Amino acid sequence: MRIKKYLQSRDEASRREFVSQAARGMLGLSVMGQLPMASALGLKMGLTGSDDPVPLKPATARNVIYLFMQGGMSQLDTFDPKPGAETQGPVEALRTNADDVQLTQYFPHLARQMDKVTVVNSMHSTQGAHAQGQYYMHTSYAMRGTIRHPSLGAWLSRMAGKNNPTLPGHVLVGGSINTASGGFLESGHYPLPIGDPASGLTNSKLPEHVSTETFHRRLERVEQMNQAFAEKFDQKQVRAYADAYQQAIKLMNSKDLLAFDLSQEPDAILDAYGRNRFGQGCALARRLVEHGTRYVEVVMGGWDTHIDNFDRMEELCPTLDRALASLLADLDARGLLEETLVVLATEFGRTPRIVEGRNGRNHFPKAFSCLLAGGGIKGGYKYGKTDATGEFIEEDGVTVPDFNATIAYALGLPTEHVMHSPSKRPFTVADKGRPLTHLFA
Amino acid sequence: MLYRLVLLLLSPMALAAQEPVQFENQILPILEANCFQCHQETYTDAEERLREPKAGLRLDGAGWILRGSDYSEVLTPGEPDDSLFYELIALPADDESRMPAKGSPLADAKIELIKRWISEGADFGDWKGKPGPKKAHAKVTPKKTLLLQSLAEGTSEASAAGITRAAGTLAQITSALPGTGLLRVDFAGNREQVGYEAVSALMPLRELIVELDLSRTKVGDRAVGKLARMPRLVKLSLAQTEIGAGALSDVATLPELRVLNLVGTKIGDGDLRRLAKLEKLETLYLWGSKVTAGGVKNLRVLLPNCRVVLQAGLPAPEVGAEPQGRRRR
């Protein structure tokens, strides 16, 4: 009687949650969860989720550097070349230091790092418009008018907490807060947005006319007000606000602020990443992770190549090549790559068919490419296959939720753990996605 | 029910009950007309919207039908009552789980035909339809998790007092393997204040620490001496610290050490041979230390299975790029 189970499973969200809550209650301290346990002992461990601990899973990665190619990156011109096919246009394929993996001619530096990378060539998305596609890629849920879903960085912050208590746990370099958002989670899980990597954190020093002493007096007063306020309205939002405030103060007084200062890096390193916004953003991401920020997203725009696709590739790809190759090499040399998952994602791919007249490629959610590297992922590996023209997925299609579930799995976030929005609706990291465990070494 | 039975008895099919149902001629047309719209390979509909198979269930190939949905199998040959494929089409018309999910229910005769086809063993005949799914990939447990699981055996959980004491010294302590007592410790945010005292305070937890990050702290050889008593330490970072050769002798006694990070230390070629005892060492990071390629070559003789990272291999600066001065504040 399969149907009984089927009908029951429609109530699964609430059942799962009941089970996990019961387990938590029973195991109590012995779960040795993570930060929450420490907070139960009254230790100060950052501002996250201490009043509602999430039972974590074994992790292979601690950090994520998430590179988002905004606009829809052409898979044929980057990571899924089709040498000889008409759809390939003038672009040639390039061998790499991994036997099974080819790139296009635009990636000579990255070709020397592919032994660290898994290429996923069988991504497909349900969303073919930019805003919707970006949202889906970041949250695993389709955009709705009534609710905002958290992005992966916010889930990590909420479920696993921060590492360095003075640094923000989640940072966004370039791009907009609309996609990489905390969604319905408290404000403390939203990313700290940074516009220009070279200028780091602006406004983080005290204004000249405020002495440290006055500042502290003010702070105390705010504190008292906050306390009264928080006692009266013991709401998550209020507390989150107060926390974020505390956070900012700590950061201002901390040596860790230097994590944001790229001028601390040797010139040779900044040159290697490329003296442009994206390259410097990647260098900043490495610095932040090194200092204990756990999730950094760096956005690179310009991939919406409806017109003059091939001319645009000549500009875009070398920037990406240099920055990503440097990031992988730099992280690895510091021993950080094994605990940092580097992700390259985009909202969708582009049509293999070249649009005549405009020499461009249009949106194509049916088959595109993303990358994973480090953080326990296999190196020199290619997963999924498209046909000879790039029109169809032939093997091992990967949905957006599956891809995100794989990132969550690397971080030890339980994909079946249900969290409720303030409107009491149930959500999980990566929706119904299932992790691709065979991508792990 | 009775009504249905009567209908069935009267229908011409009942008379031909001996003839087995033929999938391709009798069942497939029903599926094409009533189910494919929602249960076939992803396609773009007339409004340019992408249609993925509902519940991940595809009915357009024998392999796919046998695979089932994203959640479960839907067909048990011979057992219609254990086959969602039948059970869901036989639900009352007003049940919200009834298939097809939209439109009117299937005619009773069609429902019975599908039931009979399943009872008879769900034979697809020669029909294959769209090529089926590849064999599912087996679930893999990452190497790192396996290693920690084996180390967790026989450990007891950390005493709360020990954790409190260690945390009092600025340590960030997290679980290295949830569900076990194994711990990861670092000092992010407080590194300048960490030296001998802080490391000593970790001693009550020494049996349980598997990862320890002391990078950019003020530890020296005396503090590292304390670490020699950590029987499960798998990963140790001493990057950018002032440790000397003496520390390496103590590090070399760690029986489970797999990863050692000496980036940016003063360690030189002559010191490396002290590490010879680390048979399980898998990765050694030496970038920015005083070690040279020659030193690494000698070490490879002692530790042939260890990956030694000496160079970063960063791309050379762009040719013809404007050299840019450093921004200083």
One domain, residues B107 and B200: no
Q: Smallest Cα–Cα separation from A259: which of A193, A328, A201, A326?
A: A201
Q: Is B88 on the interface with A (CB under 8 A)?
A: yes
One domain, residues B74 and B190: no
Residue B104 domain-assigned? yes
Other C-beta atoms lying within 10 Å of the C-beta of residue B55 = 17
Q: Coil, helix or strand for B320?
A: coil
Residue A47 domain-assigned? no
Mutate to test the interface with B, among A1, A3, A368 (most CBs of B within 10 A): A3
Look up tokens 């992988």; give the residue: A328
* Chain center to CA of A28: 31
Residue B321 domain-assigned? no
* Chain center to CA of B54: 25
Instruction: Pick the more confident residue, A242 or B254.
Output: B254
One domain, residues B97 and B164: no
Residue B137 domain-assigned? no
One domain, residues A6 and A97: no
Strand B259-261 to strand B283-285: parallel, antiparallel, or no bridges (unpaired)? parallel
- How far apart are the CA of B279 and the nearest CA of chain A, in angstroms? 19
pLDDT score, position A178: 72
One domain, residues A277 and A135: yes
pLDDT score, position A11: 42
Residue A321 domain-assigned? yes
Tell me the pLDDT of chain A (441 aa) as tens digits. 566 565 555 444 333 333 333 223 222 222 222 223 333 332 223 223 345 778 899 999 999 999 999 999 999 999 999 999 999 999 999 999 999 999 999 999 999 999 999 999 999 999 999 999 999 999 999 998 889 999 999 999 999 988 888 888 899 998 776 778 899 998 888 888 888 887 766 545 544 555 556 555 555 655 565 565 555 555 554 555 556 556 666 666 677 788 888 999 999 999 999 999 999 999 999 999 999 999 999 999 999 999 999 999 999 999 999 999 999 999 999 999 999 999 999 999 999 999 999 999 999 999 999 999 999 999 999 999 999 999 999 888 999 999 999 999 999 999 999 999 988 999 999 998 989 999 999
A275 and B324 within 8 Å at the Cβ level: the answer is: yes
One domain, residues A98 and A224: no
Q: Taking residues B112-136, report their average pLDDT.
A: 89
Residue B205 domain-assigned? yes
Give Cα separations from B115 to A250, A278, A351 (angstroms).
68, 60, 43
pLDDT score, position A215: 54
Instruction: Pick the more confident residue, A55 or B60.
Output: B60
B285 and A1 within 8 Å at the Cβ level: the answer is: no
One domain, residues A158 and A239: no
Domain count, chain B: 2
Considering only CB atoms, B311 lies closest to which of A326, A333, A434, namely A333
One domain, residues B105 and B208: no
pLDDT score, position A245: 59
A165 and B172 within 8 Å at the Cβ level: the answer is: yes
One domain, residues B16 and B146: no
Enumerate the residues of chain A whose CB falls inside 8 A of the CB of residue B52.
126, 399
Enumerate the residues of chain A whose CB falls inside 8 A of the CB of residue B323.
267
One domain, residues A96 and A229: no
pLDDT score, position B318: 79
Residue A225: which domain range?
A: 2-33+214-251
pLDDT score, position A167: 86
**CA nearest to B131 within chain A:** A394
Considering only CB atoms, A432 lies closest to which of B70, B74, B318, namely B70
What tokens were used for A22? 């019961």
Model confidence band, residue B204 (pLDDT cutoffs 50, 70, 90): confident
- How far apart are the CA of B49 and the nearest CA of chain A, in angstroms? 8
Enumerate the residues of chain B whose CB falls inside 8 A of the CB of residue A201.
none
Residue B82 domain-assigned? yes
Q: What is the mean pLDDT of chain B?
A: 87
One domain, residues A370 and A221: no
Of the listed ranges A49-58, B143-152, B291-300, the one predicted with least confidence = A49-58
Residue A349 domain-assigned? yes
CATH of residue A125: 3.40.720.10
A32 and B179 within 8 Å at the Cβ level: the answer is: yes
One domain, residues B212 and B100: no
Q: What is the pTM of this model?
A: 0.74
Q: Is B263 on the interface with A (CB under 8 A)?
A: yes
Last residue of a domain, one of B68, B84, B119: B119
Considering only CB atoms, A1 lies closest to which of B44, B74, B81, namely B81
CATH of residue B234: 3.80.10.10
pLDDT score, position B46: 83
- Cβ contacts of residue A107 below 8 Å, gap of 6+? A78, A94, A317, A320, A321, A325
A256 and B141 within 8 Å at the Cβ level: the answer is: no
Please give the radius of gyration of chain A, using alpha carbons only, rounded to the nearest integer: 23
Cα angle value A23/A28/A31 (rounded, 5°) = 80
Residue B156: which domain range?
A: 142-309
| CB A410 within 8 Å of CB A441 | no
Backbone angles phi, psi at A27, to 5 degrees: -75, -30
B139 and A7 within 8 Å at the Cβ level: the answer is: no
- How far apart are the CA of B6 and the nearest CA of chain A, in angstroms? 25
One domain, residues A292 and A360: yes
One domain, residues A137 and A223: no
Residue A44 domain-assigned? no
One domain, residues B105 and B241: no
B105-124 burial, b at 16+ Cβ within 10 Å, e below that, comes to: bbeeebbbbbbbbbbeebeb
Q: Is B142 on the interface with A (CB under 8 A)?
A: yes
Q: Max Cα separation, chain A?
A: 75
Taking the C-alpha atoms of residue A156 and residue A166, their distance in angstroms, rounded to an integer, is 17
pLDDT score, position A225: 55
Q: Is B175 on the interface with A (CB under 8 A)?
A: yes
One domain, residues B201 and B297: yes
Q: Coil, helix or strand for A148?
A: coil
pLDDT score, position B43: 87
B259 and A335 within 8 Å at the Cβ level: the answer is: yes
One domain, residues A190 and A68: yes
Give Cα separations from A159 to A162, A239, A243 (angstroms).
9, 17, 17
B178 and A32 within 8 Å at the Cβ level: the answer is: yes
One domain, residues A70 and A28: no
Residue A95 domain-assigned? yes
- Cβ contacts of residue A87 below 8 Å, gap of 6+? A76, A352, A353, A354, A389, A390, A391
Taking the C-alpha atoms of residue B141 and residue B265, their distance in angstroms, rounded to an integer, is 35
Residue B316 domain-assigned? no
pLDDT score, position A104: 97
One domain, residues B8 and B108: yes
Residue A401 domain-assigned? yes
One domain, residues A340 and A243: no
A58 and B178 within 8 Å at the Cβ level: the answer is: yes
Residue B318 domain-assigned? no
Enumerate the residues of chain B whose CB falls inside 8 A of the CB of residue A256.
189
A35-39, A193-197, B45-49, B240-244 — most confident range:
B240-244
Instruction: Pick the more confident residue, B301 or B13.
Output: B301
Domain count, chain A: 2
Residue A46 domain-assigned? no
Enumerate the residues of chain B whose CB falls inside 8 A of the CB of residue A41.
160, 163-164, 167
Other C-beta atoms lying within 10 Å of the C-beta of residue A141 = 19
pLDDT score, position A305: 97
Considering only CB atoms, A269 lies closest to which of B149, B158, B314, namely B314
Other C-beta atoms lying within 10 Å of the C-beta of residue A204 = 12
pLDDT score, position A398: 95
One domain, residues B240 and B288: yes
Residue B315 domain-assigned? no
One domain, residues B11 and B109: yes
Residue A395 domain-assigned? yes
One domain, residues A110 and A22: no
One domain, residues B202 and B65: no
